[in-house]
Structure 1
Amino acid sequence: MTALRFDPALPWWAIAALAGLALLIAGFALWRGLRGWAWRGLAGLAAAAALAGPALEMGSRAGLSDIVILLDDRSASQDLPERGDQTDAAIERLSQQISALPNTELRRVTVGDDPDGTLLATAITRAVAAEPEGRLAGVIAATDGRIHDPAMLPADLQAPFHTLLTGRPQDWDRRLVIEEAPAFGMIDQEVTIRLRVEDQGEVPPEAATGSVGLRISVDGEDEQVFAVPMDRSLELPVTLGHAGQNVVQVGFDAPEGGELTDRNNTAAISINGVRDRLRVLLVSGEPHAGERTWRNLLKSDAAVDLIHFTILRPPDKSDGVPVNELSLIAFPTRELFLERIDDFDLIIFDRYRVRGILPPDYFRNITRYVENGGAILVAAGPEMASVESLNLSPLGSVLPARPTGRVMDQPFTPALTEAGRRHPVTSGLPGAPEDGGGETWGRWLRMAEVQPNPEAEVVMTGTDDLPLLVMDRVGEGRVAMLTSDQVWLWGRGFEGGGPQLEMLRRIAHWSMKEPELEEEALQADVSGLDVRFTRRTMEDRAGPVRITHPDGETEELALEEAGPGRFTAEWTAPAPGLYRLRDGELRRVLALGPAAPREFEQTVASGEALSPLVEATGGAVMQLSDGVPDLRTVVPGRSTHGRGVSRDWIAITPREAATVTGLERTPLLPGWVWLILISGLILAGWLTEGRAGSGSLTERRAGD
């Protein structure tokens, strides 16, 4: 490699000025008729050239080897029948052929599983970017063609790209497609899942059908089977029965005829059940200091619709005020407690007195409401120990405790019981010491004495360890009783206050059956395939958890105590799917991974996604079921694939790249030669002009 280089002694503008001056002088001499004008101009240009420092640069080169990239797709869909063996054979044979080529290097790239599917295009782009473009002779991929990142294919590839497809031409598969599924839904309201069942590939005649039997179950309950048409979008209505995760499993039995896989015949969809609005009825028996505490708590929750009535004028009040001067709103007892009582999620009786406002039939209807799944919360005051106590009404049959008639008017500090340290309503309340005492909480000043029912849970105590907060389940409903009306002292910061709003919020939400406040619960925090189990219980021990895998295999997982009433364990699922959990009477269904594994959404091999890159580079898509093609080398511009005598062939294009190993620079002329040349040109000009001058003088003398 030889090239002309310059090493100027002066700035280029100075050299250009000198050359321009030489041309100007030569032009002026030509205008004056001087015969040496050409020699003068050449002398100036030679001086400018000498100052430019021309030199010959000679480099030595060394040839570089060509590079061939071989991509090996080892994603989950490559484990389908015959594909693994086809890939192994192709990789082994091509590796041998590439290694046998002179001056050629092999770069092998393996593409494995990824949560986002087969990222083959990303692997191609990274592998190409890592190699010098001038040395890349070809890229070959052994794959089923089912990639999930086609947008990442390189836009410009200066070498042929070949796709060797695994699989068989007769492959086919029937799959369940979840077109749309909601992440959330309202409890007791229908949500819609849109799906379809479709066939792909060459469906054999014995497997072709117009409909399939679709099996549907929610949270592992009894399955229902419906006949649904093929290749048609369907809307499946599902009613969510509870708050939290609802797992809907949809699937069909594997058809006859040997489809590729049955892993895309089912799907597990997790829908989180939420309440539209929590409807609460608050009835205050009389105005008092703590009344606004309940109202502020419930009004601060945007998910709560609150109806609040305060009884200001009971029927037995006689003060002579004319009725037409009263502006009080009549208490709509019939509408609330007979006609629309089932619309409420919780009814709170705040210091309510039985004074004839609600007749006995209304209380019996409230009792029925509780037994059928409703919730009652009683915040009691001194009236609980009087003849106006709710306990003396028909509602007393569902209350969790019976008053003794005594009111304890003395300060006390609320404390947690052993059950209270385990119960999710009171466990972990801010400021509660480990021993269950409440030394960091402010004191209350009054409470009523009650006798709890045998089956009720006493989670907080007051004076002389008497029950302060009692909770119970009645039928399908729940009842809680707070035997003091002094909780507002915590909100006012009396003697340091306490967790008033948090405690009241938990009591109300436990009454309304919020999942995070269940005493007996099995929770699962999922991150990919990693699961953290948390078992809440009122017992001293829990577990082990029995886990049933999607294939029917079972295992038991031991739990370790993490705190009072809390047991935890870490577990990693072996694969995505639907897992069934059981711990004693508790059962739960857990869906891990996507609704259907992405690797098996489409399983019939196809080169469609890679064909744009194949066509742009002049490569080929070939079936490995026809055998591994031979490898050849062709010059750029020639066809890179074809049919040989016995089998197909593909080709790479050698690039003949080289690198410069050394450079040597030699001046075009030595300095002394430039000096002689310039001097000679100047002398030639002077001599030419001198001869011309003496010739003219001789002619003049002869004329004289």
Structure 2
Amino acid sequence: MDAIDFTPLLPLPLIAVLIALTLAGIGVALWRGLTGWWLRGLAALVLLAALAGPSLRREDRTPVANIAIVVVDDSASNRIDDRISQTGEAVAGLGQRLDRLAQGGRLEVRTVHVADRGNDGSMLLSALAEAAAELPADRIAGAILITDGQVHDADAVPGFPAPVQVLLTGHVEDWDRRVVVETAPAFAIVGEAVSLVLKVEDLGESPPADGVATLSISLDGTEPMTFDVPLNRSVTLPVTLNRGGVNVLQISTPGVAGELTDRNNEAIVSINGVRDRLRVLLVSGEPYPGERTWRNLLKSDSSVDLVHFTILRPPEKQDFVPVFELSLIAFPTQELFMEKVDQFDLIIFDRYKRRGILPNAYFDNIARYVRDGGALLIASGSDFAGAESLYRSPLRDILPVEPTARVMEEGFVPKVSEVGHRHPVTAGLEEHAPRPPAADGTPGWGRWFRMVDVNPTAGETVMQGPEDRPLLVLAREGEGRIAVLNSDQAWLWSRGYEGGGPQLELLRRLAHWLMKEPELEEEVLRGTGQDGGIAIERRTLSDSVPPVKATSPSGAESEVQLVETATGRWEGRIENAENGLWRLENGDQQAVAVVGPSSPREFADPVSTNAVLQPLANASGGSVRRVESGLPDVRLVREGRVAEGRAWIGLTDREAYQLRDIRRVDLAPGWLSLILAAGLAFLAWRVEGR
């Protein structure tokens, strides 16, 4: 290709001044009527042309092929139904058409396959932008996208320098049903109903229905609650959490014949259950130095409502005053122990003995309260071994110990039993001691000096006293829990005697275990979604556990071996776990674990659509057409021309080239310009001389 370039020998402003002076001189010559003015003007123009430095540029160009980018959607939503076969047919047919153009050297094809990225969905346009960034912009003839239209990065390509043609998989009549969780709280109070706003929605060209769908809500894998809800309308459903900690709700609707997929017929919601306020009833016997230990512990927690019922009259005082006249005000024993006992989360008898103040009917009701799910703690003194012991009341039927009538009054260091090292109430308690353990293994805390001897009849002995006799016994009765501390000298630790001990930590754990706090369960199986896998934790009092049976969201079963990582704690892991709700079983323990979203973004709306890519296609001069209507032919069109027709799509011929060489030829050499200008000036002189 030839072109004329200019390389001025003087600055352009100076040349402009010279041109102005030349024109002025020609004008003066015309005004005076000089006969050779035109020869002098030509001489001036020759000199000005020489100063402009004109040259002929000759370029040696080699045409290069245009580049077409083909982006193939390999995401999960484009593998639904027959979209895999449609994609394969489109890739094969399009390849043949593009090969014909490529044989003439006019086109190169770059193919990019795009899979979904976790829960980010289809990043189709991001892949297109990355591919285009690696190519010369003046060679890009266009892009052809083979996809179902469910693209989740519509803003990644605001504009494209060539036509974007979209071949849409799927069918016009596609439809699907899904569950949508519109509102779900992150926290809820245990025992109180929480509202979920849900919707069962039909997408696409759904067939006529009766307008009602079945919705099931299962809490932590338990038997689901079933509701009939209207289609395509938001509904509010109540759910009540029955325990603290993380509660997993599985919300699902049955699959319907004809829908694209049932992967979005389920949703998982995790709600953290918290207790509003813990109500504790503390019943104290005669005053003693440790009485305030329990009161201070419970009052230090702002979430605890404490009702303290204490007896101030010493037992040795005999003045024949009736029991019902001992208090300054009438204490509501009937209301507390009969009518409202179920409203308490924990009842504590601290060094209490029978005096006729609480009749047997009250103790019968407390025993019923425990069996129905309540919690009872007995911190016994020496009276527990006598005739006025609580063991002689109707509580005997639920107590896990039987006193021997022996009171051991000697100094001893409480120690954690073998089972206690596995139980979360006492596991690792030595770490909270004020000093390291002795060489013989004796814990590094102070001594106690009194303990009631008992024979355990149920539960686990987690702490021991002298002669390895039971000091702290924990047991379950019906739905409730019972703890018996066979000494009234825990207060010595809080006073710092012989260095003290972890009294607050022990009593805190004890109270929380009784109130069924999840972190202190001794027999529990937990699963947590973590880094694309599942971390499994099993706490148990046994010295061995069987493998965990894991059921994936798709129904596949596998076994996971557990390894003991600490005393009473076993752990395992499932790598690269399938997204969704996993069910775990180990013996009589069951748990659920959620990996990623139950319904990935790819399946949130799987209906094939042109809504996302149509604006980009229109802006670039391309088009959107369905594969089911037949594959179009592919043509190269001139830039600026229409790039789509009834049965064809177009790619722009960018007429790109590579520059091999440039040659320059001066059009006005200096010597020639001087001779020509001098000759013209001489002729002007001759003409004017005549």
TM range (shorter): 0.7 to 0.9
Residues 638 and 287 from structure 1, CA distance in 2 versus in 1: closer, same or farther, beyond 3 angstroms? farther
CA distance in 2, matches of 1:365, 1:594: 47
Instruction: After superposition, give the CA deviation of every residue in 1:438-470 in whole Å (9 maximum; x if it has no partner).
Output: 545222232313214232211112333232221
1:524 Cα deviation from its structure 2 partner: 0.7
User: Which residue of structure 2 aligns with residue 144 of structure 1?
Assistant: 148
Instruction: After superposition, give the CA deviation of every residue in 1:389-423 in whole Å (9 maximum; x if it has no partner).
Output: 443444344333344331433142x3221101111
User: Which residue of structure 2 aligns with residue 510 of structure 1?
Assistant: 513
Q: Is the 8 A contact 1:5 1:57 kept in 2?
A: no
Aligned match for 1:598, one of 598, 601, 607: 601
1:319 Cα deviation from its structure 2 partner: 12
Q: Secondary structure at the match of 1:418?
A: coil
CA distance in 1, matches of 2:675, 2:330: 127
Deviates more, 1:58-67 or 1:170-179: 58-67
User: Which residue of structure 2 aligns with residue 481 of structure 1?
Assistant: 484
Q: Is the 8 A contact 1:421 1:436 kept in 2?
A: no
Residues 452 and 350 from structure 1, CA distance in 2 versus in 1: closer, same or farther, beyond 3 angstroms? same
CA distance in 2, matches of 1:673, 1:415: 116
Letter of the 1:233 counterpart:
S
1:620 Cα deviation from its structure 2 partner: 1.0
1:345 Cα deviation from its structure 2 partner: 0.9
1:50 Cα deviation from its structure 2 partner: 10
Aligned match for 1:536, one of 539, 558, 562: 539
Q: Is the 8 A contact 2:408 2:451 kept in 1?
A: yes
1:185 Cα deviation from its structure 2 partner: 2.6
Q: Is the 8 A contact 1:315 1:355 kept in 2?
A: no
Q: Is the 8 A contact 1:195 1:235 kept in 2?
A: yes
User: Which residue of structure 1 aligns with residue 179 of structure 2?
Assistant: 176
1:575 Cα deviation from its structure 2 partner: 3.0
Residues 52 and 429 from structure 1, CA distance in 2 versus in 1: closer, same or farther, beyond 3 angstroms? farther
User: Which residue of structure 2 aligns with residue 615 of structure 1?
Assistant: 618
Q: Secondary structure at the match of 2:95?
A: helix
1:16 Cα deviation from its structure 2 partner: 6.9
Letter of the 2:199 counterpart:
R
Deviates more, 1:389-398 or 1:105-114: 389-398
1:87 Cα deviation from its structure 2 partner: 0.3
User: Which residue of structure 1 aligns with residue 401 of structure 2?
Assistant: 401
Aligned match for 2:205, one of 191, 195, 202: 202
1:605-684 alignment runs, 5 A limit = 605-643=608-646, 648-661=647-660
1:300-339 alignment runs, 5 A limit = 300-302=300-302, 304-309=303-308, 311=310, 313-314=312-313, 331-339=331-339
Q: Is the 8 A contact 1:194 1:236 kept in 2?
A: yes
CA distance in 2, matches of 1:290, 1:337: 24
Letter of the 2:608 counterpart:
A
1:368-387 alignment runs, 5 A limit = 368-385=368-385
Residues 486 and 552 from structure 1, CA distance in 2 versus in 1: closer, same or farther, beyond 3 angstroms? same
Q: Secondary structure at the match of 1:642?
A: coil
Q: Secondary structure at the match of 1:378?
A: strand
Aligned match for 1:580, one of 563, 580, 583: 583
Q: Secondary structure at the match of 1:423?
A: coil
CA distance in 2, matches of 1:446, 1:158: 89
CA distance in 2, matches of 1:282, 1:675: 121
Q: Secondary structure at the match of 1:127?
A: helix
Residues 382 and 22 from structure 1, CA distance in 2 versus in 1: closer, same or farther, beyond 3 angstroms? farther
Instruction: After superposition, give the CA deviation of every residue in 1:221-264 in whole Å (9 maximum; x if it has no partner).
Output: 445554433332222222223334444444444434x3323333
Aligned match for 1:460, one of 453, 460, 463: 463
CA distance in 2, matches of 1:351, 1:613: 80
Residues 191 and 100 from structure 1, CA distance in 2 versus in 1: closer, same or farther, beyond 3 angstroms? same
Residues 362 and 48 from structure 1, CA distance in 2 versus in 1: closer, same or farther, beyond 3 angstroms? farther
1:428-447 alignment runs, 5 A limit = 428-429=428-429, 431=431, 439=442, 441-447=444-450
CA distance in 2, matches of 1:363, 1:305: 24
RMSD between aligned alpha carbons? 4.5
CA distance in 1, matches of 2:470, 2:57: 102
| 1:564 and 2:563 aligned | no
| 1:88 and 2:88 aligned | yes
User: Which residue of structure 2 aligns with residue 271 of structure 1?
Assistant: 271
CA distance in 2, matches of 1:8, 1:288: 113
Letter of the 1:137 counterpart:
A
Letter of the 1:277 counterpart:
R
- Gaps of at least 5 residues in structure 1 are 36-41, 321-325, 693-704
Q: Is the 8 A contact 1:521 1:537 kept in 2?
A: yes
Q: Is the 8 A contact 2:75 2:114 kept in 1?
A: yes
| 1:134 and 2:138 aligned | yes
Deviates more, 1:633-642 or 1:98-107: 98-107
CA distance in 2, matches of 1:248, 1:650: 50
CA distance in 1, matches of 2:85, 2:495: 76
1:616 Cα deviation from its structure 2 partner: 1.0
Q: Is the 8 A contact 1:384 1:405 kept in 2?
A: no
Residues 194 and 103 from structure 1, CA distance in 2 versus in 1: closer, same or farther, beyond 3 angstroms? same
TM-score with structure 2 length normalisation?
0.82
Residues 268 and 59 from structure 1, CA distance in 2 versus in 1: closer, same or farther, beyond 3 angstroms? same
Q: Secondary structure at the match of 1:509?
A: helix
Letter of the 1:657 counterpart:
A
Instruction: After superposition, give the CA deviation of every residue in 1:69-97 in whole Å (9 maximum; x if it has no partner).
Output: 11111111222222101101111222333
Residues 52 and 578 from structure 1, CA distance in 2 versus in 1: closer, same or farther, beyond 3 angstroms? same
Deviates more, 1:621-630 or 1:270-279: 270-279
1:41-56 alignment runs, 5 A limit = none
1:374 Cα deviation from its structure 2 partner: 0.8
CA distance in 1, matches of 2:327, 2:48: 113
User: Which residue of structure 2 aligns with residue 410 of structure 1?
Assistant: 411
Instruction: After superposition, give the CA deviation of every residue in 1:159-197 in whole Å (9 maximum; x if it has no partner).
Output: 111111111233333333333333433222222233333
1:98 Cα deviation from its structure 2 partner: 2.6
| 1:211 and 2:189 aligned | no
User: Which residue of structure 2 aligns with residue 104 of structure 1?
Assistant: 107
- Gaps of at least 5 residues in structure 2 are 29-33, 35-41, 320-325
1:271 Cα deviation from its structure 2 partner: 3.5
User: Which residue of structure 2 aligns with residue 260 of structure 1?
Assistant: 260
Residues 148 and 452 from structure 1, CA distance in 2 versus in 1: closer, same or farther, beyond 3 angstroms? farther
Residues 463 and 55 from structure 1, CA distance in 2 versus in 1: closer, same or farther, beyond 3 angstroms? farther
Q: Is the 8 A contact 1:431 1:498 kept in 2?
A: no
CA distance in 2, matches of 1:65, 1:590: 54
CA distance in 1, matches of 2:670, 2:590: 99
CA distance in 2, matches of 1:532, 1:108: 39
Seq. identity, % = 46
Q: Is the 8 A contact 1:309 1:331 kept in 2?
A: no
1:659 Cα deviation from its structure 2 partner: 4.9
Q: Is the 8 A contact 1:6 1:54 kept in 2?
A: yes
Residues 17 and 431 from structure 1, CA distance in 2 versus in 1: closer, same or farther, beyond 3 angstroms? same
Q: Is the 8 A contact 1:314 1:355 kept in 2?
A: no
Q: How many residues align?
A: 667
Letter of the 1:526 counterpart:
G
User: Which residue of structure 1 aligns with residue 125 of structure 2?
Assistant: 121
Instruction: After superposition, give the CA deviation of every residue in 1:95-122 in whole Å (9 maximum; x if it has no partner).
Output: 3333432232222121212322222233
Letter of the 1:638 counterpart:
R
User: Which residue of structure 2 aligns with residue 234 of structure 1?
Assistant: 235
Letter of the 2:305 counterpart:
L
CA distance in 2, matches of 1:613, 1:425: 63
1:265 Cα deviation from its structure 2 partner: 3.3
CA distance in 2, matches of 1:57, 1:497: 99
Instruction: After superposition, give the CA deviation of every residue in 1:533-571 in whole Å (9 maximum; x if it has no partner).
Output: 112111121122223344544333332322322222211
Q: Is the 8 A contact 1:444 1:486 kept in 2?
A: no
Letter of the 2:211 counterpart:
G
Letter of the 1:405 counterpart:
R
Q: Secondary structure at the match of 1:538?
A: coil
Letter of the 2:526 counterpart:
Q
Deviates more, 1:48-57 or 1:395-404: 48-57
Instruction: After superposition, give the CA deviation of every residue in 1:595-617 in whole Å (9 maximum; x if it has no partner).
Output: 43432232221111111111111
